[in-house]
Amino acid sequence: MANAVSTSQLVEHVAQQTGLSKAQAKQAVSAVFEAMGERLAAGDRIQVSGFGSFEIRHRAERQGTNPRTREKVTIPASKAVGFRAASSLRDRIGGSSDDQS
């Protein structure tokens, strides 16, 4: 299993790659994530060329089973963020074109 990268590690990498100070890189990374969150909350799709796209996916109400009691339960409709990697990113990480989130 791959290691998780923390925000501070991402900020450090951005600072090294761009020559920005860590404070400036943190501000830039935070601004990007904030903007993405705002646009997704507004219902917009975000497409980043060469990386992939983010969108809100709607999950319909469905029936489930409580594993402890085996009782049938209704799972309410919900929304989730979906990501689909661009083909160039899939090629870079060695994923097949059939992979989807």
Cα(54)–Cα(52) distance, integer angstroms: 7
Q: Give the CATH number of the domain where residue 82 resides.
A: 4.10.520.10
Same domain assignment for residues 9 and 50: no
> Residue 1's pLDDT is what?
62
Cα(28)–Cα(12) distance, integer angstroms: 12
Average pLDDT over residues 60-88: 96
Same domain assignment for residues 35 and 58: no
Same domain assignment for residues 59 and 86: yes
pLDDT of residue 87 exceeding 50, the answer is yes
Cα(85)–Cα(66) distance, integer angstroms: 33
- What is the domain range of residue 52? 45-101
> Residue 99's pLDDT is what?
46
Encode pLDDT of 6-65 as tens digits.
999 999 999 999 999 999 999 999 999 999 999 999 999 999 999 999 999 999 999 999
Average pLDDT over residues 76-96: 92
Same domain assignment for residues 92 and 49: yes
DSSP of 1-15, one letter per residue?
-PPPPPHHHHHHHHH
Same domain assignment for residues 94 and 60: yes
